[in-house]
Amino acid sequence: MLLGINIFNRINSIKYQFQVLYELQKNNINQYDPNDSSFIFIGGHQSTGTGLMRILLDIHPLVRCGPEPVVTRELLRYRRHLETMSDLLSQSGITENVLDDASAAFIATVIQEMGPKAPRLCHKDPSSFIYLEELADMFPKAKFIHMIRDGRAAIASTIHRGIHPFYTLENISTAILSWERTTSQMLEDCQYIGIFRCLSIRYECLILNPREEIKKVLDMKQVQFK
């Protein structure tokens, strides 16, 4: 009985939070409409050059790429977790559209408010591309830059920097398999989104021909190369 009450209270709390965000967006109290937000999302496996891409784009006078907003991946992880509670949520009046609209409004607000205004806003978070397909649905006008790097170099850099708790010198083969699964899924999602919205850039090519690779990105966004 107590467990049932706790679940009911949790559902009501989730319902309230998402419905408040949804109503704010619907009533235009929140000025950020994800459907009109042509953001640039940068992601990929860790240590694939997402940071370098962010810096190079940030140099452009029409583009603003801020630091990595760690809240995005946490929200997307929680949003996917809520799919396991879809029946309970729907009974409370929370549909998939409500969840997507509220999540998109939150992410859009974070991107807009974390730095100065600019004609083109950029969001860089490698792990967020685990949810690439969901992001594409939430932001129909956004463009996506998927960074790819040789798996051996990506794993070596990740281990050296100590940014992944499960990547160590003792389990390199496991780390390589993880890189392969993650990269393959992101490539598949990028292809599903389409070449006009998602562009895969190799880190090695960016290092050797930065002007050419950055021009590809800016052309996709219809931003003049400077």
> Could you give the domains of the chain?
2-220 (3.40.50.300)
- Written as six digits, the tokens of 223 are 């931003």
Position with higher pLDDT, 211 vs 29: 211
**Contact between 186 and 132 (Cβ < 8 Å):** yes
Maximal CA-CA distance, the chain:
65
Selection from 60, 41, 51 nearest residue 218 by Cα: 60
Phi/psi at 96 (nearest 5 deg)? -60, -40
pLDDT of residue 11: 53
What are the tens digits of pLDDT across the range 80-125? 999 899 888 888 889 999 999 999 999 999 999 999 999 999 999 9
Contact 139, 104 (CB under 8 A): yes
Is pLDDT at 53 greater than 90 in this prediction?
yes
Tens of pLDDT, residues 136-171: 999 999 999 999 999 999 999 999 998 888 888 888
Position 2 scores a pLDDT of: 47
Residue 63's φ and ψ, nearest 5 degrees, are -120, 135
Which residues carry out catalysis?
A: 68
Amino acid at position 80, single letter: R
Dihedral sign (CA 35, 147, 215, 53): positive
3 confidence band (pLDDT: 50, 70, 90): very low
